Structure 1
Amino acid sequence: MQQAQEGGAGAAGKWLVTASVMIPTMIEVLDTSVANVALRHMQGSLAAGQEEITWVLTSYLVANAVVIPMSGWLAKVMGRKRYLMASVALFTVASLLCGMAGSLSTLVLFRILQGIGGGGMQPMSQAILLETFPPHERGLALSVYGMGVIVAPILGPVLGGWLTDNWSWRWIFYINLPIGLLAQFMCWSFVRDPAYQQRWQKGERVDYLGLALLVLGLGSLQIVLDLGQQHDWFGSSFILALSVVAGVCLFTLVFWEWHHENPIVNLRVFKDRSFALGNVVIFFGFFAFFGSIVLLPMFLQELMGYSAFQAGMVLSPGGLITLALMPFVGKLTQRVDARFLLCFGLLASAWSSYYMSGYNLDMGMVTAITGRNLQGVGLAFFFVPLSFLTMAYIPRTEMNNASAVYNLLRNLGGSFGTAFVTTMVARRGQFHHLRLAEHMGYYNQAFTSGVEGVRQYLEGLGMHVQSGVEAMAALYRLMQRQAAALAFLDVFHLQMIIFLCLSGAMWIMRRPPRGKAPDPGAAH
C-alpha cells in the first residue's frame, strides 16, 4: 500500500484508498448544506429566535473556514493519517452530540466542534488522492473527488428535508454515525503516510501570531459573509467592525506568513504560476456557480410558485449530468490538454448563465431544466481540469499545504458568491421596482388602460369590482413580481460575464503533463 500511495500501480489499492478518503469528504461537504432546510424545526424545538438559529449554520462554517488552511500544518505536526482519523473521529462524535443537543447554545458549541473536525477532511482527502494516483491518472482521481464535492451540496437539502419531514431534525446528524465509523475503519486500514512527507522537527518554533491572525481574520470574514445581508452590511456597526478586523488580520497574515520560517500556511506555493491563477479561477468560478445554485431555487419557488419538490426536480438532472460526465472528463485529461477542457467548461457555464438570463415568468419546467442541465455540463468540465491544472506542478512535499489553500479559496468563493447574489437580488429588485413604479400613474395612458383591462378581467371572473382599487392592487403585485424577476436575470447576466472573463484568463496557466511522463511534482 505504501507503493500505491506514492504513485504505484496497484489498481485495487488505489481505489480502496479512493473510497477511504471519499467517504469522509462526502459527509463533511453534505453537512455544510444539510441543516439549511431543518432550521425552522430546530427553532421550534429549541425555542430559539429567527436570528439566533442561523448560528447553527454560521458556527459550522466559521470553524470549517479557520481549520481548512491550517490543515497542512496540522498534518505535518500529527502525521497525515493520524490527523485525518482524528478529524473523522471528532466529526462523528460531534455529530452525535449535535443530535442530542437540548438547547441552542449546546447545539452551536457542538457544531463548532463538528466544523473543526470537518475542516481537515476535504484538503487531506484531495492531497491523498493526488499522491495515490500517478500524474497521468490524476484527472480521473480528481473526477471521483469532484463527485463528492459537487454533488453533496445538491443532495444535502434533499436528504435533510426528507429526514426532517419523516423522522426528526436530529437525524440529519445521527446519519453521520455509521458513515463516520465506516470512514474511520477504511482510513485506518488503507491510508498510509508517504515516506517523503514533511514532519514536525523537534525545536521548530510554532507560528503563534500566524495562528491568531488566521483564526481572527477568517472567523470574522465568514461571519460577515454569512450574516451581512441580514444586518444590512456596513449599515451595521457589528458587521463593519468585523470587516475591519478581517481586513487587517488577513492583510497582516499574508505579509507575516510569506516571511516566516515555519508558517501555519505556506503562501510561497503561490510562486507557481498555474497554482496562483488556478486559485483565482476556482474562487471566481465557485463564486458564480454557488450563486446560481442559490438563485435558481429562489427564482422557482418565490416567483414561479414551485414547491420544494418541484424545484428539486429542476436541479436534480443537472447534478446527475455532472456526476455522469466527471469520470469521462477525468479520462480525457490523459489525452487532451486540460486547458482546452477547462475553457470548454467555462464557456458552457457562460452559455448556461446567458440562457438563464432569458428566463421569464411564463416559462415551463422544461426551459428551467434545460438551463440547469447546461450548467451541469459546464461544472463537470470546470472542476476536474482546473484541479488537475492547479496541482500539476506542486511538489509532493507541498501537496498537503497546497490542497488546504485551494480548498479554502474554493469554499470562500462559494461563501462570497452566496452573499453577493442575495444582496444583488435585493438591491436590483429595489432598482427595478422604482423604475417600473415611475410608469404607474393616472397620467400614464398605458397604465390607465392596463387598470381598466384588469378590472374587466376580474369582472369576467365573476368578481364584483366596485372601483379600480382592486385592479390597481393586482397590477401592483404583478409589477413587484416582475421587478424581482428582472433582478434575478441581472445577476445571471453578471455571472455570464464572470465565466467569459475566466475563459480568457485561464490560458496563462502552464501546459499540464500528459501521458506517462515523469511526475513533475515529485520531490527530488
Structure 2
Amino acid sequence: MVQYKWIALSNTSLGAFMGFMNANVVLIALPAIFRGININPFNSFQYLLWILFGYSIVSAILVVNVGRISDIFGRVRMYNLGFLIFTIASILLYLTPGKGDIAAIQLIIYRILQGIGGSFLMANSAAILSEAFPPNERGFALGLNGVIGIFGGVAGIIIGGILASIYWRDVFLVSVPIGILGTIWSYKSLRQLNKPNRNQSIDIVGNILYAVSLISILLGITYGILPYGNQVTGWTNPFVISGIVAGVGMFIGFLFVESRVKDPMFRIELFKIRAFTSSAVSIILAQLAFGGLQLMLVLLLQAIWLPLHGYSYEVTPFWAGVYLLPLLAGFGIMGSIAGRLADRYGARSLATIGLLIMGIGVLTLTTLPYNFNYIEFAVIIFFIGVGNGLFVSPNMTALMNASPPQHRGSASGIRAMLTNTGSTLSIGIFFTIVIDTLYISLPPVLTNALTAAGAPQLAPILSKIPPTAAIFASFLGYNPVSTILSQLPTSLVNAIPASTIATITGTYWFPNVIASPFMEALRIAFYVSASMAFLATIASALRGKTVIYERDLMRPMAVNSSDDKKD
C-alpha cells in the first residue's frame, strides 16, 4: 500500500500545480480577456489591477484566519473545502455572462472567490506536508511541491497562449478538470493526522481587526498606483492616505489584542522562536525585493524588447512568458535540489546564499541596455531563479520545522500572508518608481520624437497621456499610439501625412522612444530591489542553527550531537 506521505504530497502538489497554472494562464491571456469583454485599456486600469491582484489580496487577508481556524477544525477539512471553492469559481469565470464594465466586475468577483479557495489551499498545504513527512524529509517534500507548482506555471504560459488565441473563456475552463479531480481525490484520500484542538475559541475580535486592517492597507496600496486628479499616481489621494494610516493603526491594535486573548488567531508567541522569526522576516524582505520583479521584466519585454525584435503587440504577452522561462527553470532545477540539501545541512547557509545570488542577479540587470542580447538576459534571470529556488524551500522548511505541531496551520497561514502581502507591496513600490520616473522624463522625449517624425501637433496630446496608460496598454497587447490615435478627432489625424502615421504606429517607433526613460526607471527599481535582497540576506544569516520543534524545543535534551553540525 502506498504510504500516506506520498498521497499527501501528490494531492498538495496537484493543488500547487493548479494554482501556479491558473496565475500564469490569466496573466498571459489578459489581452484576449479584455478584448473578449470589450474593455478599453486606457480607462480601465482599476479592472486590470483587480483582475491581476484581487486573488493575491484576498488570499493575503484570509490565509492567517484560515490557518488558525484549520488548527481548530482540521486542516484536511479546510483544504478540501478550498479545492471545491476554487473549482466552483473557475466554472463561474468561464460562464461570465456580461460585457464591458459589468463583465469586468463579474470577473473580479469570481477571481476574489478563487482567492478564497486559494487561501484555504495555501494555508494548509505546507502544514499537511509537515504532518505527513518526518522532519528529515520535510525539505524534500516542500521543495518538490514547489517545483511541481513551477511546472504548473510553465504549463500556464503555454496553455494560456494557445487557449487565448482560440476563445478567451477557455483560459478559465482549463482549471476545472484539475479542480474536480483534486476535490474528489482530497476528500477520498487525505486524512487528519493530528487531532484538532476544538476546545479553543475563535478569536472574533482579532479576526475582524486583522481583516479590516489588511483590507485597508492593501486597498490603499492598490489605488496608490492609479492616477489621481492631475497626478500620475494616487499616493496623495485622501482615500489612499486614510486607508493606509487607518490600516496600520488597526493592525497595531490587532497585535495588542492578540497579546491578551486566550486563543489568538495570530500566534505572536511563534515569533519568540528565533528560527521562525528569521524565516518570516526573510520572507517579507525577499518578497519586497522580488514580488514585483517578474511583472517588471514582463513589461520590459512587452513594451520594448519584443516590439523592437519584430513581434506585434498582440503576441507579446505570450512571448514575454516564453522568454521568461529561464527564470522558472532556474527555480525549478534548484528548488528540487535545495529541499534535499536543507534536510541534510539545514537552512541558514542555503537560504542566505540564495538571497545573495538573487541580489547580485538583480544588480547585474542594471548593466543591460534596453536592446540587450537575449542570451545574457536569459543567463542572468536563470541565476536569479536558481537563487530563488535555493532560498524558498529551505526557508519554508526552517519555518515549519520550528513551529509547534498544533500550530502549524497558523504558521503556514502566516507564511502565506507574508508572501502575498510582500508581493503586493513590492508591485506597488515598483510601479510607483517606474510611473513617477516616466512622468518626469517621458514627456520631453516624446515631444522631441513626434517633432522629428513630422507630427508636432500630436506632442501636446501624447505627452499628457499618463505613463500608466501607455504601460498598461503595452501590457495588454495594444499598440499605445494606435489606441490613442483611434480616440482623436478624424480631422486631426487626417492632417498628418500617411507616412508619418505609419511610422509612429509601427512596431519600432514607440519602443525606441520609451526605451531610455523606461530603463532609467527600471534601474532605480532594481537598485531598490537589490537593497531589499541584501537586507533579507542579513536576516537569513542571523537565523542561528537548525531548529526542529519536536527535537529541540519539546525535548531539548534529546539533541543528537551530529545535528549540531548543521549550519
For 1:329, the equivalent position in structure 2 comes to 338
Measure, in 2, the Cα distance between the counterparts of 1:11 and 1:511: 34
- TM-aligned CA distance change 1:397 to 1:215, over 3 Å: same
User: 36, 47, 50: which is aligned to 2:27?
Assistant: 36
Deviation at residue 155 of structure 1 after TM alignment? 5.1
Please tell me whether the aligned partners of residues 225 and 235 of structure 2 are also in contact (alpha carbons under 8 angstroms): no
Given that 1:87 and 1:118 are in contact with CA atoms closer than 8 Å, whether structure 2 keeps it comes out as: yes
Determine the structure 2 residue equivalent to 1:501: 535
**What is the 5 A alignment of 1:196-207?**
197-201=195-199, 205-207=201-203
2:218 to 219, 222, 229: 222
Aligned to 2:14: 23
Mapped partners of 1:391, 1:337: distance in 2:
13
What is the CA-CA distance between 1:69 and the residue it aligns to? Answer: 1.0
Query: Which residue number corresponds to residue 449 of structure 1?
Result: none
- Preserved contact between residue 123 and residue 413 of structure 2 (Cα < 8 Å): yes
1:430 & 1:237 partners in 2: Cα distance?
A: 21
Partner of residue 511, structure 1: 545
Q: Is the 8 A contact 1:43 1:53 kept in 2?
A: no
The CA deviation string for residues 41-98 of structure 1, in whole angstroms up to 9 with x for no partner, is 4444445562453333444333322221111222134322211111111111121122
Unaligned runs of 5+ in 1: 1-9, 441-464
Q: What SS is found at the alignment partner of 1:305?
A: helix
Deviations 1:322-374 (A, max 9, x none): 21222221121233242111122112112211211101034211111111111
Task: Write out per-residue CA displacement over residues 359-408 of structure 1, whole angstroms, 9 at most, x where no aligned residue.
Answer: 10342111111111111111111101111222222111111111100111
Q: Structure 1 vs Structure 2: percent identity of aligned residues?
A: 23
Q: Are 1:122 and 2:122 counterparts?
A: yes
Q: How many residues in Structure 1 have an aligned counterpart in Structure 2?
A: 478
1:341 to 306, 328, 350: 350
Q: Cα 1:148–1:365, aligned 2, differ >3 Å: closer, same or farther?
A: same
Pick the aligned partner of 1:406 from 415, 434, 451.
415
Compute the displacement of 1:430 (Å): 4.5
Equivalent of 2:69 in 74, 77, 86: 74
Provide the C-alpha distance between the structure 2 equivalents of 1:86 and 1:158, rounded to a whole number of angstroms: 29
**1:434-453 to 2 correspondence within 5 Å?**
none
- The residue that corresponds to 1:276 in the other structure is 277
Rounded Cα–Cα distance in structure 1 between residues aligned with 2:546 and 2:409: 20
Alignment-mate amino acid for residue 16 of structure 1: I
Contact 2:216/2:246 (<8 A) preserved = yes
Query: What TM-score, normalized to structure 2?
Result: 0.77
Cα separation, 2, equivalents of 1:213 and 1:180: 32
The answer to whether structure 1 residue 484 and structure 2 residue 518 are counterparts is: yes
8 A Cα contact 2:164 2:171, kept in partner? yes
Whole-angstrom distance in 2 between the partners of 1:140 and 1:476: 47
Change in Cα spacing, 1:344 to 1:102, as seen in structure 2 (3 Å) is same
Pairing 1:173–2:152 present: no
SS at 2:349's partner residue? helix
**Counterparts of 1:222 and 1:417, CA distance in 2:** 11
2: distance between equivalents of 1:37 and 1:227?
Answer: 23
Aligned to 1:111: 111
The question of whether the paired residues in 1 share the 8 Å contact of 2:57 and 2:420 is answered with: no
Question: Matched residues in 2 for 1:247 and 1:98: separation?
Answer: 33
How far apart, in 2, do the equivalents of 1:213 and 1:137 lie? Answer: 37
Distance in 1 separating the partners of 2:372 and 2:241: 41
Taking the aligned partners of 1:71 and 1:475, their CA distance within structure 2 comes to 50
Superposed CA RMSD: 3.1
Deviations 1:237-293 (A, max 9, x none): 332232233222222112112221122222221111111121111111122222221
The residue matched to 1:222 in structure 2 has which SS?
Answer: helix
Deviation per residue, 1:401-448 (Å, 9 max, x gap): 1110011101111111111111111223445569999x99xxxxxxxx
Contact in 1 for aligned 2:358/2:383 (Cα 8 Å) = yes
Q: Decide whether aligned partners of structure 1 residues 136 and 513 sit closer, same or farther in structure 2, where only a CA change above 3 A counts.
A: farther
Provide the residue aligned with 1:212 in structure 2: 208
- Name the structure 1 match of 2:478: none
Distance 1:91 1:313, change over 3 A: closer
Alpha-carbon spacing, 1:222–1:145, altered in 2? closer, same or farther (3 Å) = farther
1:420 correspondence with 2:429: yes
> What is the identity, as a one-letter code, of the residue corresponding to 1:107?
L
Sort the Cα spacing of 1:133 and 1:39 in 2 relative to 1 into closer, same or farther, 3 A.
same
8 A contact 1:389–1:509 mirrored in 2:
no
Corresponding residue for residue 494 of structure 2 = none
Over residues 6-33 of structure 1, what are the superposed CA-to-partner deviations in whole Å (9 max), with x where a residue is unaligned? xxxx974322210111212332344344
Relative to the length of structure 1, the TM-score reads: 0.83
**Rounded Cα–Cα distance in structure 1 between residues aligned with 2:250 and 2:222:** 18
* Structure 1 range deviating more: 148-157 or 374-383: 148-157
Give the alignment of 1:88-167 within 5 angstroms: 88-103=83-98, 104=103, 105-150=105-150, 152=152, 156-166=156-166
Mark the CA change 1:58 to 1:505 in structure 2 (over 3 Å): closer, same or farther.
closer
Contact 2:282 2:540 in 1 (8 A): yes
Q: Which amino acid aligns with 1:242?
A: G
Q: Measure, in 2, the Cα distance between the counterparts of 1:200 and 1:351.
A: 48
Partner of 1:249: 250
CA displacement, residues 465-494 of structure 1 (integer Å, 9 cap, x when unaligned): 9xxxx9xxx999967531221221222223
Q: Contact conserved, 1:339 with 1:506, CA < 8 A, in 2?
A: yes
